[in-house]
Structure 1
C-alpha cells in the first residue's frame, strides 16, 4: 500500500511539473503604425491611381519565430480588391533571420534590410504600395503577414503574387498576421 501511495505521489509531481513546462513561444506580429481591426492612416495610402497618401509601409516587429527559421518574408494583401484575385501590396523576401523588425518606410528599396529582396507588387513596383481602394467601395481588409522560412527563396523580382505566395507557403515554418482596414469615401 505504501508503494502505491509513493507511486501516486511521484506521478502527481511529474504531471504537475509537465503542466508548468514552458510552452513554445507564440509567433506574433506587432506594429506601432497599424492594428488589427483598426483603420490605417493616410500615411499608408498609395500615392497614385487617384490616391494621395504618403505610400509609407508601416513599422512591423515580430517575436517567437519557430526553431529553424533561416529567413523571413513580409506580405501585404487586400482580398477585397475588385480584381477577382485580390491585390498584392507588398512582398519582401529573404529578410535575414537576425532581423525582427522593420522601420516605417522599409518598403522602399533602399530602406529594406540588407540581403532582402522586394518582389513587384500589383502596382508593378518592387516595394510597398499603399492602400488605394476604389472610392465608395467600402472597407477593405489589409492582411500584413510575416512568414518564417526554412530557406531563402530564389525568385525573380518580377515573380507574380501567386508564385511568390506558393514559394513562401511551400517553405513556411509558421506565420503571424495583422489585418488592418482602409476605405475611401
Structure 2
C-alpha cells in the first residue's frame, strides 16, 4: 500500500519555497501547533508562522491549507483553510489563524475547517493511530479572489482552486499521540 498523496490527481504546478520559524519540514509539530481544543495536553491551536518566496509569475493571490491525509475519515482532515491572501503578502505570523483571524492580511479570510470552525485547529491524531502527516501548503493562484463562500468547505475551496493554481510551496510536518 502506498501513502496517499494529496496532489496525485491534481494538475501539475510549479514549486516555490515556504519556510517557517515554528515548523520544520519532516519533523514533528511543536506542542503549540497541537490541539488543546481536542484535548492534547499543552496544545495551543496556534497556526504556524509561514514565509514564502519564488512564486510563479502571474500570481495574483495565495491560499493556505493545512491537511492531514492520514486522519481516520476516509477523506483526511483539513485543519486550516485561508483564501484571498493578497499577492504582495509573503508571510503570516504565528497565531494568525485564531478565532478572529486577527493576524491575517486585509481581505484574507478563513473558511471553516473540517470541524466547521473558521480557525486553525491544531493536530490531534487519535491515540495509538500512528504518525500523521500535516501538509502545510501555500498555493499561488492566478486570480485575485477565489470564488468561495466564506462559510464554504475546504473541499470546495480546493475544487475552486484546482484550475487556478500556478504553484505550490509545501512543508510536511508530523504528529503522533501515544496510546
Task: Give TM class, smaller chain.
Answer: 0.7 to 0.9
CA-to-aligned-CA distance 1:13-66 (integer Å, 9 cap, x gap) = xxxxxxxxxxxx961011111111100111001122332411001100000011
How many residues matched?
161
The question of 1:81 aligning with 2:71 is answered: yes
Larger Rg: 1
Which structure ranks higher in relative contact order (CA pairs < 8 Å, sequence separation ≥ 6)? 2
* Cα deviation code 1:73-103 (max 9, x no counterpart): 0000000000000000010010011100001
Runs of 5+ in structure 1 lacking a partner?
1-24
User: 1:65 maps to what in 2?
Assistant: 55
Instruction: Give the structure 2 partner of residue 133 of structure 1.
Output: 125
Deviation sequence 1:121-173 (CA, Å, 0-9, x none): 01211121110111111110000000111111121122122211111222111
Over the aligned positions, Cα root-mean-square deviation in angstroms equals: 1.3
1:156 counterpart = 2:145: no
Q: Measure the CA separation in 2 of the matches of 1:29 and 1:154.
A: 25
| Larger fraction in helix | 1
1:12 equivalent in structure 2 = none
Equivalent residue number for residue 168 of structure 1 = 161
Offset of 1:111 from its aligned partner? Answer: 1.6
Correspondence for 2:109 = 117
> TM-score scaled by structure 2?
0.86
Q: Secondary structure at the match of 2:158?
A: helix
Is 1:90–2:80 an aligned residue pair? yes
Q: Which runs of 4+ in 1 moved over 4 A?
A: none
TM-score (norm 1): 0.84
Unaligned runs of 5+ in 2: 1-13
What is the deviation of 1:106?
1.1
